Amino acid sequence: MLFAIGSAAADRPNIVFIFSDDHSPNAIGAYNRWLKSVNPTPNIDKLAAEGMVFERSFCTNSICGPVRAVIETGKHSHLNGFRQNGDKFNWDQQTFPKLLQASGYQTVLYGKYHMEGKPKGYDEWAVLPGQGLYYNPDFLTAEGKITKEGYCTDLVTDMAVEWLKEKRDPTKPFMLRVQHKAPHRNWMPALRHLGAFDDVLIPEPPTLFADHRFQASPSRNQELEIDRHMDLNYDLFVDLTAEFDQPASQKTQDRSAWMNMKRMTPAQLEAWHAYFDPKDKEFHEANLYGEALVRWKHQRYMRNYLACVKGVDESVATMMKTLEELGLSENTIVIYSADQGFYLGDRGWYDKRWMYEPSLEMPLIVKWPGVTAPGSRNHDLVQNLDYASTFLEMAGAEIPQDLQGKSLVPLLKGEKPAEWRDAIYYHYFEYPSVHMVARQRGVRTDRFKLIHFYQFDEWEFYDLDADPQEQRSQYDNPVYAAEVAKLKEQLETLRVEYGDDSDISAKPEDWRVKVRKGEVTE
């Protein structure tokens, strides 16, 4: 049903879209995964109990900026022009916020957007430049750059609450986007959450010490292992609390935590020292190496990561409480999602980018009072490609024919369209770059997955029922020959359907050597 512009706000639902960065479904209690015992997200879990959890929610390109561009446009990366971080997003193109505005909605954006340029299609916005900072961050606004003292997750939440209470037009429905930096690297928790998980032994993923011999060469030639690549100083803050002159361990070292600590207030820095300095002393005294050191790094990493998640979870509680106080709960759809999954030691890794499940997955939880059954779970194949169409149908606005996603509204109503997709299409472009993850494209069905690392012309195939951890490729197994052929055909069909004419013929030289020599930069 399409609503006329100017329809009363009561006739059209408000939408609050809470979006975090690198929040793995494994670190959300409602997904019932290996971290559930830690109880990382009681408030997000409550939201899930009041709405629908999408169990098979995936991204199209597992990297921050491109995911956001796909959501903004409802089109794959090769069409919206934002293939990898560092690309420039064309804000003049069609986006769902512009369409919502044209249909009578107020549109507001606060927090991380990671696409540069002045956002278009928003009545008000305050966004983090680039990755943004955890402490005392800058925000870009229509009036210019401002700096706010405090913790980023709290500041973004406060701006959203202030808008709801003091700035919105009560005669219009709204789309409010609350977008957090957390829990993005370098995992700097709020001061009140330092040590929040110190008394908990964080479970290890079953693949922390994975053997990659039975997979294509890119899985062995990356740079995102907890063992070899997670930096004790810059990533885990060992000794970084005492001095700011640690030598980098990697050519493309992430120094954002170091830079942020230089901007802390004396009181913030004192609290940081008080927490981490004694732990650094204990670490040095332990003199760990080998698997024991990997396990220590995993515990430190996960405690910081989950403490960042705790701030996001509190933000969800604050937003829900505010909606209730303002009498908006019954006519407001609340959505929680994140830009992609993340490796929490799975496969021995951190970061994202791959088409393997831990980074392909993205959380999606939707509460729609009176429409979506509380406590429901959906198992259909959905993608971030579908968000724009979904938002537009929720708002009663027309969905342009050139959007490539499918509206999730029927699924949220407990229905399944007869022609729902039976496979998803994936394409990752960012190589050579940070972490050195090879370019790849592929297809995933309900049970099977085919990945093509096309620069190296290497393939992987997985039966997810038999090997859910994706530890041994079956690409050369004659038992699966017919299924591999079928998926190759399906991959080509989807490539044509989505209009992906990207050049996959180029074969790289040894880019790793070139990067290390400084002949190629990020």
One-letter amino acid for residue 325 of the chain: E
Give every strand in the sheet of 448-453, ordered side by side: 423-428, 440-445, 448-453, 458-463
Written as six digits, the tokens of 417 are: 């369209």
Residue 43's pLDDT is 98
Q: Which phi and psi (to 5°) does residue 110 adopt?
A: -130, 135
Average pLDDT over residues 440-469: 97
DSSP annotation of 85: B
Residue 11's pLDDT is 81
pLDDT at 435 over 60: yes
Q: What is the distance between the terminal CA atoms of the chain, rounded to a whole angstrom?
A: 47
Average pLDDT over residues 359-386: 98
b/e map 26-48, b = 16+ CB within 10 Å: bbbbbbebbbbebebbebbbbbb
CA atoms of 473 and 30, how far apart (whole Å): 30
| CA 82 to chain CA centroid, nearest Å | 16
CA atoms of 220 and 430, how far apart (whole Å): 17
Determine contact, residues 232/284, Cβ cutoff 8 Å.
Answer: no
Q: In this predicted model, what pLDDT tens digit does every residue of 63-75 receive, in sequence order?
A: 999 999 999 999 9
How many residues are there in the chain?
A: 522
Q: CA angle 173-177-178, nearest 5°?
A: 130
pLDDT at 515 over 50: no
Written as six digits, the tokens of 4 are: 């006329």
Instruction: Compute the mean pLDDT over every residue in the chain, rounded to the nearest whole number.
Output: 94
pLDDT at 205 over 50: yes
CA 19 vs CA 35, 182, 213, 221, 234: distances in Å: 20, 10, 36, 31, 26
| CA 21 to chain CA centroid, nearest Å | 4
pLDDT at 453 over 50: yes
DSSP code string of 20-53: ESS--GGG-GGG--TTGGG---HHHHHHHHTSEE
pLDDT at 327 over 60: yes
Average pLDDT over residues 327-339: 98
Q: In this predicted model, what pLDDT tens digit does every residue of 408-421 receive, in sequence order?
A: 999 999 998 988 99
pLDDT at 510 over 80: no
Residue 278's pLDDT is 96
pLDDT at 241 over 90: no
Tokens 């592929």 — which residue?
442
Q: Enumerate domains of the chain plus CATH numbers.
A: 9-187+302-413 (3.40.720.10), 217-300 (no CATH), 425-517 (3.30.1120.10)
Residue 479: closest CA among 464, 461, 454: 461
DSSP code string of 86-109: TB---TTS--HHHHHHHTT-EEEE
pLDDT at 358 over 50: yes
Determine contact, residues 101/121, Cβ cutoff 8 Å.
Answer: yes
Q: In this predicted model, what pLDDT tens digit does every residue of 484-494 receive, in sequence order?
A: 999 999 999 99
| CA 431 to chain CA centroid, nearest Å | 19
What residues pair up with 108 in beta bridges, in sequence order? Answer: 124, 176
Could you tell me the pLDDT band of residue 1, with boundaries at 50, 70 and 90?
Answer: very low
Residue 511's pLDDT is 43
Which 3 state secondary structure label does DSSP give 360?
helix
Could you tell me the pLDDT band of residue 248, with boundaries at 50, 70 and 90?
Answer: confident
Could you tell me the pLDDT band of residue 249, with boundaries at 50, 70 and 90?
Answer: confident
Could you tell me the pLDDT band of residue 461, with boundaries at 50, 70 and 90?
Answer: very high
Determine contact, residues 380/53, Cβ cutoff 8 Å.
Answer: no
CA atoms of 110 and 455, how far apart (whole Å): 38
pLDDT at 262 over 90: yes
Residue 247's pLDDT is 79
CA atoms of 154 and 312, how far apart (whole Å): 8
Give every strand in the sheet of 52-54, ordered side by side: 144-147, 138-141, 124-128, 106-112, 174-179, 14-20, 332-338, 364-367, 52-54, 376-378
Between 6 and 28, residue with greater pLDDT: 28
Q: With left for phi above 0 and alpha for psi between -120 and 50, is residue 288 left, alpha or beta?
A: beta
Could you tell me the pLDDT band of residue 242, with boundaries at 50, 70 and 90?
Answer: confident
pTM score, whole prediction: 0.95
Residue 440: closest CA among 251, 228, 217, 230: 217
Tokens 């190589």 — which residue?
431
Residue 4's pLDDT is 43
Could you tell me the pLDDT band of residue 10, with boundaries at 50, 70 and 90?
Answer: low
Could you tell me the pLDDT band of residue 506, with boundaries at 50, 70 and 90?
Answer: low
pLDDT at 320 over 50: yes
Could you tell me the pLDDT band of residue 336, with boundaries at 50, 70 and 90?
Answer: very high
pLDDT at 467 over 80: yes
Residue 410's pLDDT is 98
Lowest-pLDDT choice from 39-48, 152-161, 191-200, 241-250: 241-250
CA atoms of 471 and 214, how far apart (whole Å): 7
* pLDDT above 70 coverage of the chain, percent: 95
Q: Which phi and psi (to 5°) does residue 3 adopt?
A: -100, 145
Could you tell me the pLDDT band of residue 116, with boundaries at 50, 70 and 90?
Answer: confident
* pLDDT above 90 coverage of the chain, percent: 89
Contacts with 509 (C-beta within 8 Å, 6 or more apart), sequence order? none
Residue 5's pLDDT is 41
Residue 221's pLDDT is 94
CA atoms of 70 and 425, how far apart (whole Å): 13
Could you tell me the pLDDT band of residue 512, with boundaries at 50, 70 and 90?
Answer: very low
Q: Which phi and psi (to 5°) does residue 145 adopt?
A: -85, 135
CA atoms of 241 and 261, how far apart (whole Å): 8
Could you tell me the pLDDT band of residue 9, with boundaries at 50, 70 and 90?
Answer: low
Measured torsion, CA atoms of residues 248, 253, 254, 256, in degrees rounded to the nearest 10: 40
Q: In this predicted model, what pLDDT tens digit does every residue of 395-408 receive, in sequence order?
A: 999 999 999 999 99
